[in-house]
Amino acid sequence: MDNPSKVFDGLLVLQYRSGTKKALSILVKKYHAKLCKHSYWYTHDIEASKDIVQDCWGIVIRKIDGLKEPNLFGSWAFRIVTRKSLDFVSKRKRELEKLHQSYSTATIQTNEEDLDDAIRRLQQGIQKLSKEQQIVLRLFYIEKYSLNEISEILEISIGTIKSRLFHAREKLKTLLKKQFHGKE
Protein backbone atom coordinates (compact mmCIF):
# COMPACT_ATOMS: atom_id res chain seq x y z
CA MET A 1 0.00 0.00 0.00
CA ASP A 2 1.24 3.47 -0.86
CA ASN A 3 2.32 5.92 1.77
CA PRO A 4 -0.57 8.38 2.51
CA SER A 5 1.73 11.31 1.82
CA LYS A 6 2.51 9.92 -1.65
CA VAL A 7 -1.18 9.35 -2.35
CA PHE A 8 -1.88 12.95 -1.30
CA ASP A 9 0.88 14.13 -3.66
CA GLY A 10 -0.66 12.07 -6.45
CA LEU A 11 -4.07 13.65 -5.86
CA LEU A 12 -2.52 17.12 -5.94
CA VAL A 13 -0.79 16.31 -9.23
CA LEU A 14 -4.06 15.12 -10.74
CA GLN A 15 -5.89 18.21 -9.45
CA TYR A 16 -3.24 20.48 -10.93
CA ARG A 17 -3.47 18.69 -14.27
CA SER A 18 -7.22 19.24 -14.25
CA GLY A 19 -6.80 22.97 -13.76
CA THR A 20 -6.68 23.51 -9.99
CA LYS A 21 -3.69 25.87 -9.72
CA LYS A 22 -3.82 25.84 -5.90
CA ALA A 23 -2.74 22.18 -5.97
CA LEU A 24 0.68 23.22 -7.28
CA SER A 25 1.07 25.84 -4.56
CA ILE A 26 0.43 23.12 -1.96
CA LEU A 27 3.12 20.93 -3.54
CA VAL A 28 5.52 23.88 -3.61
CA LYS A 29 4.80 24.63 0.04
CA LYS A 30 5.39 20.98 0.97
CA TYR A 31 8.59 20.43 -1.01
CA HIS A 32 10.34 23.75 -1.62
CA ALA A 33 12.42 23.89 1.59
CA LYS A 34 13.29 20.17 1.35
CA LEU A 35 14.41 20.58 -2.24
CA CYS A 36 16.51 23.63 -1.34
CA LYS A 37 18.25 21.69 1.44
CA HIS A 38 18.78 18.78 -0.93
CA SER A 39 20.33 21.02 -3.56
CA TYR A 40 22.48 22.78 -0.94
CA TRP A 41 23.99 19.45 0.08
CA TYR A 42 25.48 19.20 -3.41
CA THR A 43 26.27 22.84 -4.09
CA HIS A 44 27.23 24.19 -0.66
CA ASP A 45 25.85 27.49 -1.95
CA ILE A 46 22.56 28.77 -0.53
CA GLU A 47 21.81 31.22 -3.32
CA ALA A 48 22.69 28.74 -6.06
CA SER A 49 20.48 26.14 -4.38
CA LYS A 50 17.53 28.51 -4.30
CA ASP A 51 18.06 29.37 -7.98
CA ILE A 52 18.37 25.70 -8.95
CA VAL A 53 15.16 24.76 -7.15
CA GLN A 54 13.33 27.72 -8.68
CA ASP A 55 14.45 26.56 -12.14
CA CYS A 56 13.37 23.02 -11.25
CA TRP A 57 9.84 24.22 -10.40
CA GLY A 58 9.68 25.54 -13.97
CA ILE A 59 10.68 22.09 -15.24
CA VAL A 60 8.08 20.46 -12.97
CA ILE A 61 5.35 22.73 -14.35
CA ARG A 62 6.37 22.00 -17.95
CA LYS A 63 6.68 18.23 -17.49
CA ILE A 64 4.09 17.37 -14.83
CA ASP A 65 1.60 16.21 -17.48
CA GLY A 66 4.12 13.52 -18.50
CA LEU A 67 4.56 12.16 -14.96
CA LYS A 68 3.36 8.58 -15.33
CA GLU A 69 2.98 7.85 -11.61
CA PRO A 70 1.64 10.94 -9.83
CA ASN A 71 2.14 9.29 -6.41
CA LEU A 72 5.89 9.41 -7.07
CA PHE A 73 5.92 13.21 -7.40
CA GLY A 74 8.39 13.64 -4.51
CA SER A 75 10.97 11.21 -5.90
CA TRP A 76 10.54 12.73 -9.34
CA ALA A 77 11.07 16.28 -8.05
CA PHE A 78 14.12 15.21 -6.04
CA ARG A 79 15.54 13.49 -9.14
CA ILE A 80 15.18 16.73 -11.14
CA VAL A 81 16.85 18.77 -8.38
CA THR A 82 19.62 16.16 -8.01
CA ARG A 83 20.44 16.31 -11.72
CA LYS A 84 20.39 20.12 -11.86
CA SER A 85 22.50 20.38 -8.70
CA LEU A 86 25.06 17.94 -10.07
CA ASP A 87 25.12 19.92 -13.33
CA PHE A 88 25.81 23.07 -11.31
CA VAL A 89 28.61 21.37 -9.36
CA SER A 90 30.19 20.05 -12.57
CA LYS A 91 30.01 23.46 -14.19
CA ARG A 92 31.49 25.13 -11.11
CA LYS A 93 34.25 22.52 -10.99
CA ARG A 94 35.14 23.20 -14.63
CA GLU A 95 35.18 26.94 -13.92
CA LEU A 96 37.41 26.43 -10.89
CA GLU A 97 39.78 24.26 -12.91
CA LYS A 98 40.02 26.99 -15.55
CA LEU A 99 40.60 29.57 -12.83
CA HIS A 100 43.23 27.36 -11.25
CA GLN A 101 45.00 26.99 -14.58
CA SER A 102 44.95 30.76 -15.02
CA TYR A 103 46.10 31.42 -11.48
CA SER A 104 48.16 28.38 -10.54
CA THR A 105 49.36 29.99 -7.33
CA ALA A 106 45.85 30.47 -5.97
CA THR A 107 44.79 28.01 -3.29
CA ILE A 108 41.49 27.31 -1.67
CA GLN A 109 41.65 26.85 2.05
CA THR A 110 38.97 25.78 4.43
CA ASN A 111 38.84 26.90 8.00
CA GLU A 112 38.48 23.78 10.09
CA GLU A 113 39.73 25.27 13.36
CA ASP A 114 36.21 25.87 14.70
CA LEU A 115 35.00 22.35 14.01
CA ASP A 116 34.72 19.84 16.79
CA ASP A 117 37.43 17.21 16.29
CA ALA A 118 35.05 14.26 15.97
CA ILE A 119 32.83 16.04 13.44
CA ARG A 120 35.86 17.13 11.45
CA ARG A 121 37.15 13.57 11.29
CA LEU A 122 33.77 12.22 10.25
CA GLN A 123 33.44 14.84 7.51
CA GLN A 124 36.93 14.06 6.28
CA GLY A 125 36.09 10.38 6.20
CA ILE A 126 32.89 11.00 4.26
CA GLN A 127 34.74 13.22 1.80
CA LYS A 128 37.11 10.34 1.06
CA LEU A 129 34.19 8.23 -0.10
CA SER A 130 33.23 8.26 -3.74
CA LYS A 131 30.61 10.81 -4.76
CA GLU A 132 28.22 7.93 -5.50
CA GLN A 133 28.66 6.60 -1.96
CA GLN A 134 28.21 10.06 -0.46
CA ILE A 135 24.98 10.58 -2.40
CA VAL A 136 23.51 7.23 -1.31
CA LEU A 137 24.49 7.85 2.34
CA ARG A 138 22.87 11.29 2.22
CA LEU A 139 19.63 10.07 0.66
CA PHE A 140 19.37 7.10 3.06
CA TYR A 141 20.49 8.60 6.38
CA ILE A 142 19.80 12.32 6.06
CA GLU A 143 16.84 12.48 3.67
CA LYS A 144 15.41 9.19 5.06
CA TYR A 145 14.52 7.71 1.66
CA SER A 146 13.87 4.00 1.32
CA LEU A 147 16.07 1.85 -0.91
CA ASN A 148 13.26 1.77 -3.51
CA GLU A 149 12.96 5.56 -3.50
CA ILE A 150 16.72 6.02 -3.81
CA SER A 151 16.67 3.57 -6.71
CA GLU A 152 14.00 5.71 -8.41
CA ILE A 153 15.77 9.01 -7.71
CA LEU A 154 19.17 7.85 -8.96
CA GLU A 155 17.74 5.50 -11.61
CA ILE A 156 19.95 2.58 -10.57
CA SER A 157 19.11 -0.88 -9.22
CA ILE A 158 18.36 -1.57 -5.57
CA GLY A 159 21.26 -4.04 -5.57
CA THR A 160 23.61 -1.22 -6.56
CA ILE A 161 22.15 0.99 -3.82
CA LYS A 162 22.69 -1.76 -1.21
CA SER A 163 26.22 -2.35 -2.43
CA ARG A 164 27.11 1.36 -2.28
CA LEU A 165 25.66 1.67 1.22
CA PHE A 166 27.54 -1.39 2.46
CA HIS A 167 30.87 -0.36 0.93
CA ALA A 168 30.46 3.25 2.09
CA ARG A 169 29.85 2.16 5.70
CA GLU A 170 32.76 -0.29 5.65
CA LYS A 171 35.16 2.24 4.14
CA LEU A 172 34.03 4.90 6.59
CA LYS A 173 34.59 2.53 9.54
CA THR A 174 38.12 1.78 8.33
CA LEU A 175 38.94 5.45 7.73
CA LEU A 176 37.64 6.50 11.14
CA LYS A 177 39.54 3.74 12.94
CA LYS A 178 42.75 4.89 11.23
CA GLN A 179 42.08 8.54 12.13
CA PHE A 180 41.28 7.88 15.78
CA HIS A 181 44.25 5.57 16.25
CA GLY A 182 46.63 8.02 14.57
CA LYS A 183 47.58 5.67 11.77
CA GLU A 184 46.78 8.11 9.03
Which CATH number is 5's domain given? 1.10.1740.10
Residues near 16 by Cβ (< 8 Å), separated by ≥ 6? 23, 24, 27, 64
Same domain as 22, residue 99: yes
CA 158/CA 153 separation, integer angstroms: 11
Please work out, in degrees rounded to the nearest 5, the angle formed at the alpha carbon of residue 33 by the alpha carbons of 29 and 39: 135
Among candidates 57, 96, 93, 95, which has minimal Cα distance to 78? 57
Average pLDDT, integer, range 147-168: 90
Query: Could you read off the pLDDT of 39-95 as tens digits, one per residue?
Result: 999 999 999 999 999 999 999 999 999 999 999 999 999 999 999 999 999 888 887
Global confidence as pTM = 0.60
Tally of domains in the chain: 2
Q: How many helices (H) and strands (E) does the chain have?
A: 8, 0
Query: Could you read off the pLDDT of 134-156 as tens digits, one per residue?
Result: 888 888 877 788 889 898 889 99
Neighbours of 13 (CB within 10 A): 23
CATH number at 119 reads: 1.10.10.10
